[in-house]
Amino acid sequence: MRILILGPQGSGKGTQAKRIAASRRIAHVATGDMLREAMAAGTPLGRQVKPIYDRGDLVPDDLMIDLIRERLEREDGYVLDGFPRTLPQAEALDAMLAEIGKPLDAVILLQAADDVATGRLHARAAAEGRADDSPEAIRNRLRLYHELTEPVVERYRAEGTLVAVDGEGGVAHVETDIEDALAAVGARSR
């Protein structure tokens, strides 16, 4: 199954994407993780994106599209997390999946209000110390989500493929809601 998970920073998207991928034995394809690995390894891509990442800005579309294309061509089943974040990325994703003949089976939107999301991100900042969890970078990332990623959400909503799930509850509760949503989509497509 090919699943796309969308939602703001702090909605629990990464946590849930990992759990869904593990329970279905499919890959967790997370662009943020791919970039953090490139930065940790000090690759040319990693060095290029580091200042952008640390500010909480978005990496240019062309770099992200090249990065994800190579990965999605190799995977049959996955939970895609962190891409697409802009309309050009969404268009590129649609085109590449059509080209390789492997469309998405489900699009999940994990919802959380800004105050809940911000609270979770500040808590994570204290626990993990991620470079882009400074108060300024958190504000910037949520601003960019509303400005550039919400139009992507609306695009999938208009296509009728999007299922919204409330992400404000506890981890296990949200996971059950996502599994229910996926089961409903699976039942419809059979």
Q: One of 18, 124, 139, 155 is an active-site residue; which one?
A: 124
Known catalytic membership, residue 85: yes
Q: How far is the CB of 3 from ligand ADP (least distance, A)?
A: 16
Which structure tokens are listed for 58? 């978005």
- C-beta separation of 13 from 5 below 8 A: yes
Residues 6+ apart with CB under 8 A from 57: 140, 144
Nearer to ligand ADP, 118 or 175 (CB): 118
Are 93 and 42 contacting, i.e. CB atoms less than 8 angstroms apart? no
Residue showing the smallest CB distance to ligand ADP in the complex: 32
Q: Name the residue type at position 51.
A: P
Q: Is 139 annotated as catalytic?
A: no
Give the bridge partners for 165, in sequence order. 110
Q: Which residues bind ligand ADP (CB under 6 A)?
A: 9, 31-32, 35, 52-53, 56-59, 64, 82-83, 85, 89, 132, 141
Smallest distance, Å, CB 16 to ligand ADP? 12
Tokens 């609306």 belong to residue: 154
- Catalytic residue, chosen from 71, 130, 155, 157, is 130
Active site residue 143: no
Which residues have a catalytic role annotated?
Answer: 13, 85, 124, 130, 141
